[in-house]
Chain A
Amino acid sequence: MGEVILTMKGIDKSFPGVHALDHVDLEVRRGEVHALMGENGAGKSTLMKVLTGIYTKDSGTITFEGKEVEFHNTREAQEAGIVIVHQELNMLGHLTVAQNIFIGREFKKGIAIDDKKMNEEAAKLFRRLNIDIDPTETMSNLTVGKQQMCEIAKAISHEAKVIVFDEPSAALTEAEIDELFKIIRDLREQQLGIIYISHRMDEIKVITDRVTVMRDGTYVGTLITSQCTKNDIINMMVGRVIYEDPKTKSMVPEGAPVVLRVENLNAGKMVQNVSFQLHKGEILGFSGLMGAGRTETARAIFGADPKQSGDIYVNGEKVVINSPEDAVKHGIGYLSEDRKRFGIVVQKTIAENTTLATLKEFLNGIFINKKKENQVAQQYVDSLATKTPGVDQLVVNLSGGNQQKVVIAKWLARNSDILIFDEPTRGIDVGAKNEIYKLMNRLASEGKAIIMISSEMTEILRMSDRIVVMCEGKITGELDIAEATQEKIMNLATREIS
């Protein structure tokens, strides 16, 4: 670790009704990876937005390279050398990879944009990072993982001195995370200051040098990572958390009936001859690398995408599912990996979202029974411990973990017996994560059948009764939790299929 490059001192920021940051401190040195941790709503993202000029602070000072600075927009921050890799992917889908990387500072030849040079520079950048992406590809054609890599390339291309990674690994597979860490270590070698926001405790231990913890908008403390334990950090964050114990054997009772049977499902290239069974009270983990076809399988079952062939049996009876409406009718609920796009209506209230799939039950004639709607929504807010001032709060104002709880409430209200959780804890912090784990275990013990798609190996091993592994659109194996290990799963997930 070198000298101090960035100091934020006594940063204060209020929004109407919320004291988002209460005199927060942060210090970053050259050649350091500094973790910034805290639960949802602890104020990490707000602090970073103050740093990069998206928000203006109410009071406090920011000192960068020995001078006090104040940025008024991201461009000023970028020019000074502070760049953020956003949690939500900020991509312009219609433009190419190179055009995205250099947007806002295009190379020019006279008045024309020099696309050729931009492509060359982008290719150079990718070579430096050892990433295999074609700069001329249209951004929307890339997978989420590759898009993330482009975001990072974009940040690095700014001659940055401080790079903020806001949950960079949330959408990445294990292999991609290894790649990412290699990049981050390189950057550390080059004496950059790196702020790393993540909820994954394992990563913090592996990649960071120091960790600053925030709670409810306040500064809790800074630790040297190598001198503290996971529990030290967790205690600082929440003061309570104990994780659900990992399963060592299946919790499904002997002879539990099969509630969902899928046979020879085919839907495009990503779903080929997929067959499996799901029992009552079971959590069936779907593991595999990104692009293995897990989400596509779920979407095909749910009727969100068309299927070419295959049969689906619910409670032993063959059913026809051609649309999500059909699936819902048969008691299947789907919690999308991309909440913003498919899970919730962000500009509506919690109550409205909760009853979205069950509105019929809340009708008095043609009128919506608002009172009943609010009551039911409140009930779920209580039982899921959703953090909100009230059920009339717009969902857009909630943090990621709390948004996920609203989606869960929606399907619980629908009384769905088969729940498909697609990356249920993506972008969700430790405390909320554990609540969702508990909730899933509770639902299973109450007899719900759960399919859990997850890219996090620890999550798969912690939660599943049985594990299905997919690779390139095919199921490559099935493991009982008693015999499953990381190595076995990875082996199946990367198996070459001839």
Chain B
Amino acid sequence: MANRNGTAGKTKSSLDRLGGQKFVVLLVIVGLFIFFSLMSPNFRKYTTFVSILDYSYYIVLMSIGVTFPLITGGVDLSIGTGLICYSLVGGYLISFYHVPVWAGMLVTVLFGSAIGLLNGCLVALMDIPPFLVTLCTCMITRGLGSIIVGGFGITWPTAIQPGGWFRNIFKLSTASNTKIPIGIIWVVILVLVMSFVLNHTKVGRYTIGIGSNKEAARLSGVNVKAYHILAYVISGTFAGLAAIAYSAVFSTVQPGTGAGFELEAIGGAIIGGVSASGGAGTVTGSLLGVLVICLLKTGLPFIGLTANWQQNITGLVLIGAVMIDVIKKRREVK
């Protein structure tokens, strides 16, 4: 009786029970990995594996952060150029003003938080569409980093220089010069922490609430503005963390780059099941989705396809993922 009137007679499909879209994405990752491994002997090497991870860290971190504004129904386009800007400023302080490396890192992350705060305030307090706000801060950060450092590339300390210890945060070199990608540990920890935040704390609950029905959340006494701002602060902070990962892996940062990183992070989140209209999504989903993009990006060159192809194929995968989302919604409506 309860089921007849209470719920629209919905039964979970076996796919849903396994985690739905996430499970499909996981299969895609495994499939891609096997495919590339079979096609290219070079792909099977340990060094390749390590370099895939190197190329993934910063996008994964951005993706974890941007999941929050996406779930509120917004977007954050400033994280890509922001990443470069934060890294430039942090590196500049370290190499020209000789601040300790840890302080430079802190500035990098906090700069990200600050831009996130700016985004959040403009979106939540001034009611400007997130697309516009973050498009503007995207342009601003792109210019700002370059202005502050005077237009030159900045090099963070290399492994042999003093302060080079920070590179070991992501990749540990042993005596025999084998690289151990311990960045994985940080990624796993951050994914777990942010998953917890999204699923089991007020911050996450209200983030979903804003994306689901902002007015209802407001009328229930939720401080909607504060939590809306917070979503962008999280996104900015993770862009700052991503800047650290980027600096640790690539050491030299060029002004004017970074545009397009945000699209890979956002695309990954959407492949991983974040609803393009807000209200739904998971951090683990975003992680898996972004891994698909990273695998394509690093794997396709091994089978002789150029960067252009990689963009093409990523776009097609993204459309596929969005279509799954749309079809799912249609089914729910019935």
Contacts and interface: CB of A to CB of B under 8 A. Distances in A.
A92 B212 CA distance: 5
Given A106-B205, A112-B200, A91 B213 contact: yes
B304 interface: no
A99 B4 CA distance: 22
A370 interface: no
A142 B6 contact: yes
Interface in B245-285: 279-280
Contact of A74 (B1, B202, B220): B220
Interface string B279-304: 11000000000000000000000000
Interface in A14-62: 54
Contacts of B208: 92, 94-95
A56 B209 CA distance: 25
A103 B222 CA distance: 7
A99 B205 CA distance: 8
B209 A92 contact: yes
A63 B121 CA distance: 36
For the residues of A in contact with B, the DSSP-based class is loop
B2 interface: yes
Interface stretch (B7-15, B56-64, B162-170): B7-15
Interface in A68-89: 73-75, 78, 86
Contacts of A105: 221
Chain A's interface size range is 35 or more
B173 interface: no
A491 interface: no
Contacts of B219: 54, 74, 86, 90
B5 interface: yes
Contacts of A86: 219
Interface string A131-161: 0111001001111011000000010000000
A291 B213 contact: no
Contacts of A94: 208, 211-212, 279-280
Given A73-B221, A90-B220, A305-B334, A141 B213 contact: no
B213 A140 contact: no
Contacts of A154: 220
B2 A134 contact: yes
A113 B1 contact: no
Given A141-B8, A142-B7, A132 B1 contact: yes
Nearest to A267: B334
Contacts, number: 88
B215 interface: yes
Contacts of A112: 196, 200-201
Nearest to B224: A104
Interface in B199-232: 200-202, 205-206, 208-209, 211-213, 215-222
Chain B's interface size range is 20 to 34
Contacts of A140: 332
A74 B221 contact: yes
A275 to B, nearest CB: 22
A112 B197 CA distance: 8
Given A73-B221, A90-B215, A92-B212, A133 B334 contact: no
Interface string A344-377: 0000000000000000000000000000000000
A93 B220 contact: no
Contacts of B221: 73-75, 78, 104-105
Contacts of A137: 6-7
Interface string A462-497: 000000000010000000000000000000000000
A269 interface: yes
Given A78-B221, A106-B205, A113-B202, A91 B5 contact: no
B220 A113 contact: no
Interface in B177-197: 196
A291 B5 contact: yes
A86 to B, nearest CB: 7
A112 B201 CA distance: 5
A78 to B, nearest CB: 6
A133 B222 contact: no
Contacts of A95: 205, 208-209, 212
Given A73-B221, A137-B6, A103 B211 contact: no
A111 interface: yes
B334 A104 contact: no
Nearest to B332: A140
Contacts of B334: 268, 305
Nearest to B275: A94
Nearest to B205: A113
A167 to B, nearest CB: 16
A115 interface: yes
Contacts of B209: 92, 95, 103
A311 B279 CA distance: 39
A215 B216 CA distance: 29
Nearest to A305: B334
A124 B170 CA distance: 50
A269 B5 CA distance: 12
Nearest to B71: A94
Nearest to A154: B220
Contacts of B206: 103
Contacts of B2: 132-134
Contacts of B205: 95, 99, 103, 106, 113
Nearest to A268: B334
B132 to A, nearest CB: 18
A471 B279 CA distance: 34
B8 A111 contact: no
Contacts of A108: 202
Contacts of B218: 74
Contacts of A104: 217, 220-222
- List the 9 closest A-B pairs by CB distance, nearest first: A75-B221, A90-B216, A104-B221, A94-B212, A92-B212, A94-B279, A104-B220, A112-B200, A132-B2
15 contacts: A74-B218, A74-B221, A90-B215, A90-B216, A91-B216, A92-B217, A95-B208, A103-B206, A104-B217, A111-B201, A132-B6, A133-B6, A134-B6, A141-B10, A145-B5
Given A74-B219, A103-B205, 16 more contacts: A74-B220, A92-B216, A93-B212, A94-B279, A95-B208, A103-B209, A104-B217, A106-B202, A112-B200, A113-B202, A132-B6, A134-B2, A137-B7, A143-B8, A146-B6, A291-B5
